[in-house]
Amino acid sequence: MLRLKELRQQRGLTQKEVAKVVNYSQNLISTWENGSHEPSISALITLANFFNVSVDYLVKNDSNVPKEINDSTYIKVNKHLSPNQQACIKDLIDLDEPLCVQAKTYIRALKEAYSILKNNSEQVG
Protein backbone atom coordinates (compact mmCIF):
# COMPACT_ATOMS: atom_id res chain seq x y z
CA MET A 1 0.00 0.00 0.00
CA LEU A 2 2.60 2.55 1.04
CA ARG A 3 5.61 3.72 -0.89
CA LEU A 4 7.35 4.12 2.44
CA LYS A 5 10.00 1.46 1.90
CA GLU A 6 10.65 2.67 -1.65
CA LEU A 7 11.06 6.30 -0.53
CA ARG A 8 13.23 5.31 2.43
CA GLN A 9 15.52 3.15 0.30
CA GLN A 10 15.79 5.82 -2.43
CA ARG A 11 17.20 8.15 0.18
CA GLY A 12 19.55 5.54 1.64
CA LEU A 13 17.91 5.61 5.06
CA THR A 14 17.35 2.80 7.54
CA GLN A 15 14.04 2.22 9.30
CA LYS A 16 15.76 3.29 12.51
CA GLU A 17 16.84 6.63 10.99
CA VAL A 18 13.34 7.37 9.69
CA ALA A 19 11.78 6.31 12.98
CA LYS A 20 14.02 8.65 14.97
CA VAL A 21 13.24 11.67 12.80
CA VAL A 22 9.46 11.16 12.59
CA ASN A 23 9.15 10.08 16.25
CA TYR A 24 7.70 6.62 15.66
CA SER A 25 9.27 3.30 16.63
CA GLN A 26 11.35 1.31 14.19
CA ASN A 27 9.00 -1.62 14.76
CA LEU A 28 6.01 0.50 13.72
CA ILE A 29 7.82 1.69 10.58
CA SER A 30 8.48 -1.97 9.77
CA THR A 31 4.81 -2.94 10.17
CA TRP A 32 3.80 -0.12 7.84
CA GLU A 33 6.36 -1.19 5.26
CA ASN A 34 5.31 -4.84 5.31
CA GLY A 35 1.61 -3.96 5.24
CA SER A 36 0.61 -5.62 8.50
CA HIS A 37 -0.60 -2.28 9.88
CA GLU A 38 -1.64 1.00 8.32
CA PRO A 39 -0.49 4.38 9.64
CA SER A 40 -2.93 6.91 11.02
CA ILE A 41 -3.76 10.05 9.07
CA SER A 42 -1.42 12.09 11.26
CA ALA A 43 1.37 9.56 10.69
CA LEU A 44 0.78 9.71 6.93
CA ILE A 45 1.03 13.49 7.02
CA THR A 46 4.23 13.33 9.07
CA LEU A 47 5.77 10.82 6.66
CA ALA A 48 4.67 12.76 3.58
CA ASN A 49 6.20 15.95 4.98
CA PHE A 50 9.41 14.16 5.88
CA PHE A 51 9.81 12.68 2.39
CA ASN A 52 8.49 15.86 0.73
CA VAL A 53 5.74 14.05 -1.15
CA SER A 54 1.97 14.30 -1.06
CA VAL A 55 -0.04 11.89 1.06
CA ASP A 56 -1.65 10.69 -2.18
CA TYR A 57 1.77 9.84 -3.61
CA LEU A 58 2.76 8.09 -0.37
CA VAL A 59 -0.29 5.84 -0.56
CA LYS A 60 0.37 5.12 -4.25
CA ASN A 61 -2.20 7.32 -5.90
CA ASP A 62 -0.30 7.41 -9.19
CA SER A 63 -2.08 10.49 -10.45
CA ASN A 64 -0.09 12.64 -8.05
CA VAL A 65 3.63 13.26 -8.24
CA PRO A 66 5.97 14.31 -5.43
CA LYS A 67 5.66 17.89 -4.27
CA GLU A 68 8.39 20.15 -5.48
CA ILE A 69 9.13 23.78 -4.85
CA ASN A 70 9.68 25.52 -8.14
CA ASP A 71 11.93 28.54 -8.58
CA SER A 72 9.11 31.09 -8.54
CA THR A 73 7.76 29.70 -5.24
CA TYR A 74 11.24 29.76 -3.76
CA ILE A 75 11.76 33.38 -4.83
CA LYS A 76 8.39 34.45 -3.36
CA VAL A 77 9.15 32.78 -0.02
CA ASN A 78 12.76 33.93 0.03
CA LYS A 79 11.72 37.62 -0.17
CA HIS A 80 10.18 37.38 3.31
CA LEU A 81 13.21 35.84 4.99
CA SER A 82 16.10 37.51 6.74
CA PRO A 83 19.57 37.14 5.20
CA ASN A 84 20.44 34.58 7.90
CA GLN A 85 17.33 32.54 7.13
CA GLN A 86 18.11 32.68 3.41
CA ALA A 87 21.66 31.45 4.07
CA CYS A 88 20.33 28.58 6.21
CA ILE A 89 17.91 27.49 3.49
CA LYS A 90 20.63 27.62 0.85
CA ASP A 91 22.86 25.47 3.07
CA LEU A 92 20.03 22.96 3.58
CA ILE A 93 19.32 22.77 -0.15
CA ASP A 94 22.97 21.96 -0.80
CA LEU A 95 22.99 19.00 1.62
CA ASP A 96 22.55 15.43 0.47
CA GLU A 97 19.54 13.57 1.89
CA PRO A 98 21.19 11.83 4.91
CA LEU A 99 22.77 15.11 6.04
CA CYS A 100 19.47 16.91 5.50
CA VAL A 101 17.77 14.40 7.82
CA GLN A 102 20.43 15.04 10.45
CA ALA A 103 20.08 18.80 10.03
CA LYS A 104 16.30 18.62 10.49
CA THR A 105 16.78 16.61 13.69
CA TYR A 106 19.29 19.17 14.97
CA ILE A 107 17.00 22.09 14.09
CA ARG A 108 14.10 20.46 15.95
CA ALA A 109 16.34 19.98 18.99
CA LEU A 110 17.43 23.64 18.85
CA LYS A 111 13.80 24.79 18.62
CA GLU A 112 12.86 22.62 21.58
CA ALA A 113 15.81 23.89 23.64
CA TYR A 114 14.93 27.49 22.77
CA SER A 115 11.31 26.90 23.75
CA ILE A 116 12.35 25.42 27.10
CA LEU A 117 14.70 28.32 27.80
CA LYS A 118 12.07 30.85 26.82
CA ASN A 119 9.45 29.21 29.09
CA ASN A 120 11.92 29.08 31.98
CA SER A 121 12.81 32.77 31.61
CA GLU A 122 9.13 33.74 31.44
CA GLN A 123 8.44 31.82 34.67
CA VAL A 124 11.31 33.55 36.44
CA GLY A 125 10.38 37.03 35.14
Give the end of a domain, one of 21, 37, 58. 58
Q: Which residue type does 70 have?
A: N
Confidence of residue 64 (pLDDT cuts 50, 70, 90): very low
Asked if 51 and 58 count as a contact pair (C-beta separation under 8 A), the reply is yes
Residue 63 lies in a domain: no
* Domain count for the chain: 2
Let me know whether 44 and 84 are in one domain: no
pTM over 0.85, yes/no: no
Higher pLDDT, 49 or 63: 49
CB count within 10 Å of CB 95 equals 13
Range of the domain at 116: 71-124
Residue 91 lies in a domain: yes
Q: Which residue type does 108 have?
A: R
Residue 66 lies in a domain: no
Distance CA 67, CA 84 (A): 25
pLDDT in tens, 11-62: 899 999 999 989 999 999 999 999 899 999 889 889 988 888 888 888 876 5
Q: Where are the alpha helices (DSSP H) in the chain?
A: 4-10, 15-22, 26-34, 41-51, 55-58, 71-78, 83-94, 97-124
Let me know whether 84 and 49 are in one domain: no
Torsion angle (degrees, nearest 10) of CA 74, 83, 109, 48: 0
Let me know whether 54 and 75 are in one domain: no
Question: Of 52-66, 68-82, 109-123, where does the model show the most confidence?
Answer: 109-123
Let me know whether 76 and 47 are in one domain: no
35 contacts: CB under 8 Å, gap ≥ 6: 1, 2
Instruction: Supply the pLDDT for residue 63.
Output: 46
Residue 64 lies in a domain: no
Residue 109 lies in a domain: yes
The CATH number for 20's domain is 1.10.260.40
Residue 65 lies in a domain: no
Residue 44 lies in a domain: yes
